[in-house]
Amino acid sequence: MPKLFSYCIPHDTGAAPNPFWGTCTLVICKPAIRRAAQVGDWVVGTGSVNSPIGDIGGRLVYAMKVTAVMTMQEYDDYTRRKLRGKIPRWNSSDYRLPVGDSIYDFSKNPPSLRKSVHGIENRSRDLRGRNALISKHFFYFGDQPVKLPHRLKPLSHRGQGHRSKSNEPFFLEFVRWIHSLGYRPNSVLGRPQRAMLSDETDKDGLEMSPRSMNPVTAIGKRSQIRSTHLLSVNWCEAARRGKPGHDMLKCTLSED
């Protein structure tokens, strides 16, 4: 039976997972999950009580069904040929490009680190994961996390590490629930809780500090997890109806 991995995302920045360009990928961070997950498994990221947008414990930030597994070297080659948006371009004004997750250049031995959201101190942990998880069937909520029903609250993981074996009783129920929400698969339904941009502001007026590696969160006060200016209920409803939406930014730099 497929597995259901769940973990807590302390900092959602759009890099891990990276939900852009029609493909959700988990290539950096979470090495234990990346080594273990296989095609058909689900990976679920839940919110942190100390997230940049407040206490979102017990809420779903993203869910991806693994549709392909590559080695990190194969992923590097794949992104060069077919998915160049995943290769980070640190100074780009397109907010999706600085957080590209194809951050290791395997044309060199040992692989070199591209300028990206990770530094040399992350190298050992990243490469220890060996694999890149690919999904063409995902739901990314970002700063609009969805509250888990009470019966699925055990999926919500706190702290480092992840859950999988203890999630076995919830696998089928989770899959039914996520699809019952009515969202079209491959949907990006919110912005990352923290965003990185090469410009000082983006079109929504958010102030960013990209070069510091510590993005300035400019979310503003919210009523619980309600966005004030990044996302509207109407936009979510458009996604429910299957209309294409904005390809927004999301990621997590979490420990395994």
Whole-angstrom distance, CA of residue 252 vs CA of residue 43: 13
pLDDT in tens, 188-234: 999 888 765 433 333 333 233 333 233 323 333 333 333 322 333 33
Please, which pLDDT band fits residue 177 given cuts at 50, 70 and 90?
A: very high
Q: What would the mean pLDDT of 17-37 be, rounded to a whole number? A: 95
Whole-angstrom distance, CA of residue 193 vs CA of residue 47: 10
pLDDT at 249: 32
pTM score, two decimals? 0.76
Please, which pLDDT band fits residue 256 given cuts at 50, 70 and 90?
A: low
Contact 140, 150 (CB under 8 A): no
pLDDT at 233: 32
Whole-angstrom distance, CA of residue 54 vs CA of residue 49: 7
Please, which pLDDT band fits residue 165 given cuts at 50, 70 and 90?
A: confident
Please, which pLDDT band fits residue 156 given cuts at 50, 70 and 90?
A: confident
Please, which pLDDT band fits residue 159 given cuts at 50, 70 and 90?
A: low
Task: Count Cβ atoms below 10 Å from residue 73 Cβ, excluding itself.
Answer: 14
Q: What would the mean pLDDT of 147-172 be, rounded to a whole number? A: 86
Share of the chain above pLDDT 90, in %: 55
Domains of the chain, residue spans? 4-71+129-240
Contact 135, 63 (CB under 8 A): no
pLDDT at 119: 87
pLDDT at 93: 84
Tell me whether the omega of the peptide bond preceding residue 110 falls within 30 degrees of 0, making it cis.
Answer: yes
Q: What would the mean pLDDT of 31-53 be, rounded to a whole number? A: 94
Q: What would the mean pLDDT of 42-46 be, rounded to a whole number? A: 96
